[in-house]
Copies of this chain bind each other. A is one copy, B any other.
Amino acid sequence: VAAEFSMNLAIEQARTTGVGFVATRRSNHFGIAGYYAAMALEHGMIGLCGTNTGPIVAPTFGRTPMLGTNPLAIAAPTSMPPDFLLDMATSAVSGGKLQVAIRAGKPVPHGWGIDATGADSADPGAILAHGALLPLGSFEPLSSYKGFGLAMVVEILAGVLGGGVFGPDVIALTKPQRAGHANVSHVFGAIDIGRFLPLQDFRARMDAWLDAIRSAPRAPGADRIYVPGEKEWELEARHHATGVPLMPPVVEALQAMAARLRVSMPSPVAATGERDA
């Protein structure tokens, strides 16, 4: 609720003055950063959204969590769907990817995280429980200070500018003893494209640009070049057509909740074998 209100406020500001930025404090997990950035699209605007999260990422040359995965999302309109939508954790990967690996009992690639001693680790359990994720770039020779710096930029625009708590003071909801209010901060931005050039021109330029990227020569073994947001848009279209795949424990939890609240729940159809974690 707070995030939707704030993004609408940024859009309203941008309509008035060309650009709007809103920082929001004392909030909770707002779901998907890209959802709010994309709210700007139907208004002919570029949208931006970022949030801090509970500490789980170590700074370059550090070994303990001092930053959240601090996702950043930017949306820009095209003429033909999908629109451009980059939605990324500023860490090498999000915590969710490690949780999937834990459930699957598999190691993770080197460069995702470190253990309690600060050593590179392939054990997702050790990384999440006692270590830390690494910033985008992973290693110092691959410029991990850039992912670290970007996480700080999101923190500065959200927690510091918004007057909320920031850095290691944000509550990690993964720690049971601190369950409750996450006390996170967000930032929302909107840029009115029509103040710079006609919206139609911008859309046409985006189309040409994305097409050029998509049709560029491919790396060995690659069958396609995706632009940001394209994979997720295709997945959404597939789910609209064939339904949203849910894992059995999620279906069971929803059924139990429906029974407890005495509301009816659509019967799940048989699994097709497709599973999205």
Contacts and interface: CB of A to CB of B under 8 A. Distances in A.
A209 B163 CA distance: 13
A18 B18 contact: no
A143 B149 contact: no
Interface stretch (A60-68, A235-243, A251-259, A264-272): A60-68
A152 to B, nearest CB: 7
A38 interface: no
Interface string A222-260: 101111100000000000000000000000000000000
A123 interface: no
A126 B21 CA distance: 44
B218 A62 contact: yes
Given A92-B143, A161-B202, A213-B59, A220 B18 contact: no
B160 A88 contact: no
Given A137-B137, A153-B86, A62 B225 contact: yes
Contacts of A168: 212
A1 interface: no
Interface residues of A, number: 78
A193 B19 contact: no
B58 A219 contact: yes
Nearest to A212: B167
A168 to B, nearest CB: 7
B220 A61 contact: no
A61 to B, nearest CB: 4
Most buried by B among A92, A156, A220: A156
A145 interface: yes
A104 to B, nearest CB: 15
Nearest to A141: B109
B93 A46 contact: no
A82 interface: no
A93 to B, nearest CB: 6
Given A92-B142, A136-B147, A219-B118, A156 B19 contact: no
Contact of A152 (B86, B111, B136, B166): B86
6 contacts: A23-B196, A63-B218, A90-B146, A136-B146, A152-B228, A157-B191
Shortest 9 CB-CB contacts between residues of A and residues of B: A86-B149, A61-B222, A118-B219, A17-B17, A149-B228, A88-B146, A19-B19, A109-B141, A63-B219
Interface of A: 13, 17-21, 23, 46, 58-64, 66, 74, 76, 84, 86, 88, 90, 92-93, 109, 111-112, 114, 117-119, 136-138, 141-143, 145-150, 152-153, 155-157, 160-163, 166-168, 189, 191, 193, 196-197, 201-202, 205-206, 209, 212-213, 216-220, 222, 224-228
